[in-house]
């Protein structure tokens, strides 16, 4: 029973490039959440998606960040024109329904040089 899968695990991008982070939820889970953990800071909510729908994007920066969860395939967090301040660990979590616990994937550690 595979857990939440994220790839890549480590991603290095130069300033101005695009970063694409992928998340496959646990089997049977249709709710996906993205969180960001900046160095020495707590986890911060970014966005909550169900298949083909963004439910809550209140934590997403207004510019350069977008997320999707298509009918087929993984959820994608996209960061355009990355800056050094985007360097962080990005975690995806999933749950089988909106009221259930959230289980986290291993994360993608983004480094912007």
Partner 1 sequence: QKEVEQNSGPLSVPEGAIASLNCTYSDRGSQSFFWYRQYSGKSPELIMSIYSNGDKEDGRFTAQLNKASQYVSLLIRDSQPSDSATYLCAVKEGKGFQKLVFGTGTRLLVSP
Half-sphere exposure (Cβ direction) of 84: Cα atoms closer than 13 Å: 1
Least gap, CB of 81 to partner 1 (angstroms): 26
Least gap, CB of 43 to partner 1 (angstroms): 4
Residue 12 within binding range of partner 1, rule CB under 8 A: no
Burial track 55-86 (b if 16+ CB lie within 10 A, e otherwise) = eebeebeeeebebebeeeebbbbebeebeeeb
Residue 65 within binding range of partner 1, rule CB under 8 A: no
Q: Quick one: which segment of 22-30, 43-51, 67-75, 78-86 binds partner 1 (CB under 8 A)?
A: 43-51
Pick from 21, 31, 79, 110 the residue near partner 1 by CB under 8 A.
31
Residue 101 within binding range of partner 1, rule CB under 8 A: yes
Provide φ and ψ at 86, rounded to 5°.
Answer: -80, -10
């Amino acid at each position: 029973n595979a857990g939440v899968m994220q790839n890549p695990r480590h991603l290095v991008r130069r300033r101005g490039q695009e970063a694409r982070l992928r998340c496959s939820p646990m089997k049977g889970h249709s709710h996906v959440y993205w969180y960001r953990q900046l160095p020495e800071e707590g986890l911060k909510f970014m966005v909550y998606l169900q298949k083909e729908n963004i439910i809550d994007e209140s934590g997403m920066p207004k510019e350069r960040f977008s997320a999707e969860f298509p009918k087929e395939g993984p959820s994608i967090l996209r960061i355009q024109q990355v800056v050094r301040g985007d360097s962080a660990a990005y975690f995806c979590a999933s749950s089988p329904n909106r009221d259930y616990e959230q289980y986290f994937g291993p994360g993608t550690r983004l480094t912007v040089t």
